Structure 1
């Protein structure tokens, strides 16, 4: 059994979709929808993601559900819903910041994401039909360019998540506290979501949590396979890529917004974690969409 840290990690939705090599829709920066036939014909080795995953397997009046949080290990050896009679499968991938308000504390708002293993349950009747309509609406919104697209996606996704929470509570008992993410990790997760742009060091978060930096890193690594510094850097990199992709801010302005003391410090950070300079990444966006034409509906 490979160690958790050796399991491949995909921080970006676009990278994950490219790795899967299947058709998807959405801008693939913060949100994507994947359409599959039957039980979800994906077959993958164990892997981790830096974003949330929801899968919906439709058969008759039933919808099979799969919910996985960032960092949870997934492996699809016989499809997403093997042996379930599912006729078609849809997968929604989204970054935490797309629904920032309710996901400021996702382990409290949506505990079905944070069990020790990915959550699975079944919807039927009106609940299944309602969820199917919501997923179709999300896919339709993702495929249409609009100045209000992000706001519409956020609202529709939040509504879906709360409906799933209600259905999960109706059909399952809450998991014991031991099965939920550890308290320290949850609090660290919340703080990073709130302060990543202004607080870049592990020491700052350790002070807020009243623990040593070494203890915090050890606990985060034991749970996620990455140390605390990597978690902070990944969240910061996602935001930097979003600002480079979706705003006209200069690199110096982005560096200032993300509280780097000098643009050169931001460039070094981006190059170290993103393999390209910010300028190279932004220039590459003018070419990248063509390479994804076969994958984006």
Structure 2
């Protein structure tokens, strides 16, 4: 089993509908239900693509990485690649789902930064005054997507990428993901390279010095850039990414703690237990006991092919 493969969790690969091979797909919740008469959407799944959902009406529930979110009108949901989630109740929902491949938002900028942020918000409520603009943006994207499917042209993919970036910028909560005021462009570029390297190697590289050497920076440069971009030091950012995957392994696999440690590059179970307890305050076995596959918790401070 690879690190990202969890028995009992559906692994969803990006597979666009025929004619929609541009890297993005737009559908609605009615279409989702029609595509899934067996109700597999209510079971745990892990996509390798982005799902951006806008709830236009109705109510329901969604869970992602151990948090349960209520859904209602003006709710925005962003499921990033690798997140373990399920549509716990989507029977009465109406709205839009935008599926897009990693890297589709390739042009540097705040939209691409938001897509690359593995710790970005999952669920939030759009402000009432901007909601009509959000719906207008996704409807425009949907029309261009339909036009590209029926009559593809060389302009289809660039148009869709621009419209998707506009949608992302429109729906994002006010807090992000613009570059923090204290983060210079050069520092932000360093952080983007570090973040990408962490996402690729967190299961085998646990020391900031290894990333600094591979990227050609000093440790202080990485720490300064990461702190300016996120408020966290480079080591803390790396540890949080390792911890997130450790929690997914513990919650969604039956692997012994020692095997989880092995999957995440720890030399032995004792080292892993020390790391996990330092981050969470409890040993892995106790954390696992309280976070089984069916158990989720309510968010404490967030207003926040699936």
TM-score (structure 1 length as normaliser):
0.50
Say which structure, 1 or 2, has more relative contact order (CA 8 Å, 6+ apart). 2
Bigger helix fraction? 1
TM-score (structure 2 length as normaliser):
0.48
